[in-house]
Amino acid sequence: MDMPIRKHPSLPRPIQGEMKLERSNQLLAEARKTVPGVTQSMMKKPEFFAPGSFPVFLAKGQGALVEDVDGQEYIDFISGLGANMLGHNHPAVVDTIRRHLEEGVLHSLPTPVEVTSIQALLDLVPGAEQARFFKTGADATSAAVRLSRYLTGKERIITVGYNGWHDHFMYDTPGVPAPLASLTTRLPLFTPPDEAVLLSTIEKQASQLAAVVLSIPYNRPLTSGFMQQVRAACTAHGVMFVMDEVVTGFRLAMGGAQEFFGVQADIVCMSKSIAAGMPLSAISGPAKYLSKLADLQVSTTFGGELLTLAVCEAVLKFYKQNSHVQHIANLGRKLREGVNQHAEAVGSPLRVLGYDSVPFFRYSPDMVEHAKLMTPFQGGMARRGVLLRRDVNFISAVHTEEQIQYTVDMAGEVLRSLAKPA
């Protein structure tokens, strides 16, 4: 049988007839038996999408297009949970791996790429004079917490946003010793009144506070003025200001959220885009702080893995030579304005909010109500060849104008179908 003809080479093949989920469902049944939680990241669980009308397993990808295990194509806005800044199979990643593969994967002593890749990172991160590599974002933020406690001689931390799954962040989840809860305060920044609460909490806890670990919210842009207030409060009370840029690094600006807001953190944590999908994270900062990491038992065998570091160096070079930040911001703005225009036209409460390169879809501030309304929208978009997360989505450097316009058009189609009386 002939395959459906695509209208444009960057657009997905139309799905003919009913969406096929046979292989996805087979794999899901097997995973439920053998994989705790079905997958390796809780953010990829089927229930966070549109069960029954959304693929569960993907097979491959090229650029901003992915193909599921049943052979259907989609424009990918999940983007490896934000890690795939260069999409899938980008030459900066694939060619680098091929070129360095015969040199080995992990050696018994340090290798030159540990030095050159660190320097490539320091060239892009404002204020950074030293850095260390790890593998996951939670590794980096946890190292930052330990370093902050050592530098300040204090133990409490304030955590803003999701900073990782380790005990000192997820102190109120099963399996974490109860006493750890006394060392961490978790605060939101979802609404403007939350800002005053954060600043007052820094003041109240200052004598015991080692660090504020801040990951920006994505439902609303913060202001440079507020970020400067946080910086000033931390400085005044001898508190380490740690910016969790696991998502925002190389996305909001070339120098990340620090550059975007014009603020200088004491320690910066990065992952996701740092190696365009290869497993890598890092912490960086001034030498007066980062050098003290050598005094601590912070060590990882795989931090010096050669292929990932070679990719990191190549990707950072690509970022430096190309204008991907402005490109993704322009596309994200077009997506937001287009979807919101369609939503307003049909009286839908859906709005795309937040930063241009990190479009945040919201039906309602109430999470239960939002999930109820967003699920059929996600399913309708998947049926039309577009994969969206329930809330935060990611524009990549390889998304095209045609893909954004197609997504806007399909969003209008889905919103109109959902607005029709039952």
| pLDDT number for residue 1 | 30
Query: How many beta carbons lie within 10 A of that of residue 37, not counting itself?
Result: 11
Name residue, tokens 């945040």.
Answer: 360
Res. 233 pLDDT band, cuts 50 70 90: very high
CA dist., res. 211 & res. 144, Å (int): 9
Q: What is the pLDDT of residues 345-375, one digit of tens each?
A: 999 999 999 999 999 999 999 999 999 999 9
Q: What is the pLDDT of residues 196-207, one digit of tens each?
A: 999 999 999 999
- Answer whether 214's CB lies under 8 Å from 247's CB: no
CA dist., res. 219 & res. 203, Å (int): 26
Res. 46 pLDDT band, cuts 50 70 90: confident
Residue 2 has pLDDT above 50, yes or no: no
Residue 231 has pLDDT above 70, yes or no: yes
| pLDDT number for residue 235 | 98
Query: How many beta carbons lie within 10 A of that of residue 368, not counting itself?
Result: 8
**List of residues 6+ apart from 152 with CB closer than 8 A:** 209, 210, 211, 238, 239, 240
Partners of residue 285 on adjacent β-strands: 130
| pLDDT number for residue 44 | 85
Report, in this order, helix, strand and coil percent for the chain, each rounded to 5. Answer: 45, 15, 40
* pLDDT > 90 fraction of the chain, expressed in percent and rounded: 92
The beta-strand segments (E) located in 146-196 are 156-160, 184-187
Please name each of the domains of the chain with its CATH number: 22-76+324-419 (3.90.1150.10), 91-321 (3.40.640.10)
CA dist., res. 371 & res. 389, Å (int): 11
Lowest mean pLDDT among 1-5, 237-241, 247-251: 1-5
How buried is 347 (Cβ within 10 angstroms: 0-12 exposed, 13-18 middle, 19+ buried)? exposed
Residue 13 has pLDDT above 80, yes or no: yes
User: Using CA of residue 215, residue 79, residue 377, residue 403, what is the dihedral sign?
Assistant: positive
63 conformational bin, left if phi > 0, alpha if psi -120 to 50, beta if neither: left
User: Using CA of residue 125, residue 127, residue 131, residue 136, what is the dihedral sign?
Assistant: negative
CA angle 387, 67, 45 (to 5 degrees): 50
Dihedral over alpha carbons 137, 141, 142, 146 (to 10 degrees): 150
SS3 label, residue 214: strand
**List of residues 6+ apart from 6 with CB closer than 8 A:** 12, 13, 14
- 120, containing H or E segment: helix 112-122
Res. 42 pLDDT band, cuts 50 70 90: confident
What is the DSSP annotation of 46-103?
A: GGGS-TTSS-S-EEEEEBTEEEETTS-EEEESSGGGGT-TT-BS-HHHHHHHHHHGGG
CA dist., res. 224 & res. 263, Å (int): 7
| pLDDT number for residue 405 | 98
96: number of CA atoms within 13 Å, CB side? Answer: 23
| pLDDT number for residue 422 | 59
Q: In what order do the strands lie in the sheet with 58-62?
A: 58-62, 65-68, 73-76, 386-387
| pLDDT number for residue 5 | 43
What average pLDDT does this structure show over 105-123?
A: 95
| pLDDT number for residue 29 | 95
What average pLDDT does this structure show over 61-68?
A: 97
Report in angstroms the alpha-carbon separations of 127 from 59, 83, 114. Answer: 40, 23, 20
Crossing angle of helices 112-122/306-321, nearest 10°? 30
